[in-house]
Amino acid sequence: GAVVSQHPSRVICKSGTSVKIECRSLDFQATTMFWYRQFPKQSLMLMATSNEGSKATYEQGVEKDKFLINHASLTLSTLTVTSAHPEDSSFYICSATGTGFYYEQYFGPGTRLTVT
Amino acid sequence: QKEVEQNSGPLSVPEGAIASLNCTYSDRGSQSFFWYRQYSGKSPELIMSIYSNGDKEDGRFTAQLNKASQYVSLLIRDSQPSDSATYLCAVNKDSAAGNKLTFGGGTRVLVKP
């Protein structure tokens, strides 16, 4: 399968600061990347979809000014959580798909964010 | 009605037995179906994709799709303790959804030695 990396794997930040999470496709060109959030014992929640070179499409209820997504190249997307608060503490996971993948998404290992 | 429904479990299975997981979906236009395995504290891992009616086998896993009845299932043969995880069913609804997948809530599977 295709390989997706995420960095950092864990981050602790103080309330009010911003955190950037990187998602990279290592062995394919990702035409679309997705950002999910998962709270303990809950299912995945899609936050946004991003295509290379265009603005991200956010799901209903997700604040686009708080969760900034940049998909600058076919192998890199970033999620910046701005002015983080304790309620933003969660497991953030990216996934990616490419041409010819027939909608298969491959997930990164995730980033566990704790806001103190 | 949820778009993709799964029994949350836990589904308790003796080691060596067959685990049978079911998933139903509401959008009749759905075309692509996936099973992901997620270990506790980890991200999902794709284990099966299925696109046409019938069975698809890959090692100990068999996915079954019935579009008329709007369900997709996953069988795990010769279950091992390492199969203990949450299994997520995902559906690509239709062309309007683009590349997005809709996930079910997941079924937790416990394989007991």
Q: Do A106 and B100 touch (CB under 8 A)?
A: no
> Which of A88, A82, A39, A80 shows the shortest CA–CA distance to A56?
A80
- Contact criterion met (CB < 8 Å) for B99 and A103: yes
Q: Where is average pLDDT lowest: A52-56, A66-70, A95-99, B74-78? A: A52-56
Query: What length is written for chain A?
Result: 116
Cβ distance A109 to B43 less than 8 Å, yes or no, reads yes
Choose between A114 and A54: higher pLDDT: A114
Pick from A103, A108, A110: CB nearest B101? A103
pLDDT band at B97 (very low <50, low <70, confident <90, very high): low
Residues of A in contact with B92 (CB under 8 A): 103
The span from the CA of A106 to the CA of A94, in Å, is 8
Q: Which residues pair with B36 in a beta bridge?
A: B46, B88
